A and B are shown apart, each in its own frame.
Chain A
């Protein structure tokens, strides 16, 4: 690579547009920044060599240059935007309504949305946000972020570090703010520098040439906020690993102990009791609010649980050896935390039957009872023998009874609507009577039964729904977001201002540049020049625009 030697003696990297030291425009590279078409110099990156514009040899370079382009980055973002929108046309697979006739995606979309739905499903759009191509798209944006930042920050940092107070005439005269003062007094110059110093400008001197600079750190703001964004993307990436993030759900019935899903079979939970409390309807404080609601309002959803951890090696299916980890209450919005996991009270199911007590009565006299027996609906016995010699056998048991195609059957394993076919053996008899009994149903198939069964008592239990969560990525997100905000404030609140005061052959050259808020820096300069004969800077932008228009109409 050719190092470009400037007349000031400094060697610039290939592709530099303005000398890093004195700012003199390097002839052969002016087209890169568009300086050949305008009077004012393009100061965006201090005229430094953005490497992507210069090297394009190896394949590595070509890939690098592709990602270094902000235009390409924006295109990637627009594509991601459109893709994300497509995912909202039809509900994603996990949001297929629970009461849909068929929740299998291969059937649902075509059934509900016709041909469009079928295409949607076949193109994989029903699981868009976790698809490999969507992830690649987001990852490409991340790559673009990194490379754009690196490619601009490094040359800019170099340039702002190397710059010298002594600047070439053409650099100064082609700044937006510029003035020349042919006869000036050294006291005036000293006064201006003093004034600037009092306005908190940092003064650099080199052979009597002066640079007054303020808030250079503000230039790094955008790069800081990009670092914040990259950290957020890393956190999002880490979220994919089960080690860092878990989101699952478990239903536990009162008295039940089962494995907590997504914990690799290592943790068990036992539901000791579920509490559902309402606000007292007579409580003065809440009476009005409740009347407005028109119904009772729940005060507390709470599950008392015990958490166990598996000890030693186990194989699925076997009863594992457990040791207690903790015993606590989970309330809505008050999760139980243990070993990095968190359990939230999420839902509940009430009035699931636990036990049912049946009485044997005379068919023609409901008052005459022949005893009772209680059936545990979760694990019923085959036979129940009463003290008075009666024996009842369960012929069929339907935990969740429905009639399907005229046949009695059960639709689930949970005792939500228990029904039985009982065989009742009177004492010392081998001839049973068959009865069918369920809730609100009592059928004598023969019509001749001497005995009748009736439900005399029952107990219910709750099932508690708990969300299982583990999220170690949250702190990383917070850090990334904080850095992002710091970067935004750093870049937006302050402005980087520079005022050059150079002498050339008895003339005082005054030039200034800022990255934003030109009005502010003009005011600063006015204030600094107060009480001196130095000429105020002229804003050359008007003329520059004219020149740009001229060149445009000429072409």
Chain B
């Protein structure tokens, strides 16, 4: 074998080895990334700031409000405060008067959608009358929307901008100042 041939053979061998090892490593790295991303996605089915708010449609039951149904995607162009609540949740009851006080002022720019999780409509109507609420209240009887948004503690509120993107997710009762601050954030 001449020196030239020997050198070429050596190069080929080196290239082959490099290729083979790189392929094996690439496959292993790929598997690792797959595992990481799957794991990441798993508990990130929860919607958070930056995600597009998933669409839903529920029947509106507050007699003080003209809407018959609420479909989230119909509300594009307006900011939306999506509030999950129930009559057996004391902090929810605390923030309701604040929501009602701000609603008339921001009505044209922001829609409040209060998603109730109680069992019977009766208790919802009692509650609405007790607090003289005028914003839309929808009854998520089967917990479909609660499951969709993976809501755990109550109250949970999603502030959504006019393009349908979640700007902030808040768990727990809101003060009047905080509420107004968020309203201003999602104004068109």
Tell whether A and B belong to one assembly.
yes
Number of A-B contacts (CB under 8 A): 122
**Contact, CB under 8 Å: A60 / B18:** yes
Within 8 A of B (CB), among A233-270: 234, 237, 240-242, 258-259, 261, 265
In the complex, A104 Cα to B172 Cα: how many Å? 12
Q: Is the interface of B mostly helix, strand, loop or mixed?
A: helix
The closest CB in chain B to the CB of A402 belongs to B88
**Contact, CB under 8 Å: A259 / B147:** yes
Interface size on A, residues (CB 8 A): 53
Within 8 A of B (CB), among A189-220: none
Within 8 A of A (CB), among B81-124: 86-88, 90, 117-123
**Contact, CB under 8 Å: B145 / A316:** yes
In the complex, A282 Cα to B122 Cα: how many Å? 47
In the complex, A2 Cα to B122 Cα: how many Å? 89
Tell me the smallest distance from the CB of B70 to a CB of chain A, in Å. 9
Tell me the smallest distance from the CB of B156 to a CB of chain A, in Å. 13
**Contact, CB under 8 Å: B142 / A259:** yes
Within 8 A of B (CB), among A130-155: 130, 132, 135-136, 139, 142-143, 146-147, 150
Within 8 A of B (CB), among A294-331: 315-318
CB-CB < 8 A to A400: which residues of B?
Answer: 88
**Contact, CB under 8 Å: B58 / A240:** no
Within 8 A of B (CB), among A398-444: 399-400, 404, 409-415
**Contact, CB under 8 Å: A378 / B142:** no
**Contact, CB under 8 Å: A136 / B36:** yes
**Contact, CB under 8 Å: A258 / B17:** no
**Which of A64, A261, A379 has a CB less than 8 Å from the CB of B122?**
A379
**Contact, CB under 8 Å: B126 / A317:** no
What is the size category of the interface that chain B forms with chain A? 35 or more
The closest CB in chain B to the CB of A130 belongs to B39
**Contact, CB under 8 Å: A60 / B22:** yes
Q: Which residues on B are within 8 Å of A, measured CB to CB?
A: 10, 13-14, 17-18, 21-22, 24-25, 28, 31-32, 34-36, 38-40, 42-43, 54-58, 71, 86-88, 90, 117-123, 125-126, 138, 140, 142-145, 147-148, 153
The 3 closest A-B pairs by CB, nearest first: A240-B38, A317-B58, A317-B56
Known: A241-B38, A410-B87. 15 other contacts (CB 8 A): A64-B21, A130-B39, A135-B35, A139-B32, A139-B35, A142-B28, A234-B31, A259-B143, A259-B147, A378-B120, A382-B125, A399-B120, A409-B88, A410-B88, A413-B87
Q: Which residues on A are within 8 Å of B, measured CB to CB?
A: 1-2, 51, 55, 57-58, 60-61, 63-64, 104, 130, 132, 135-136, 139, 142-143, 146-147, 150, 234, 237, 240-242, 258-259, 261, 265, 315-318, 378-382, 394-397, 399-400, 404, 409-415
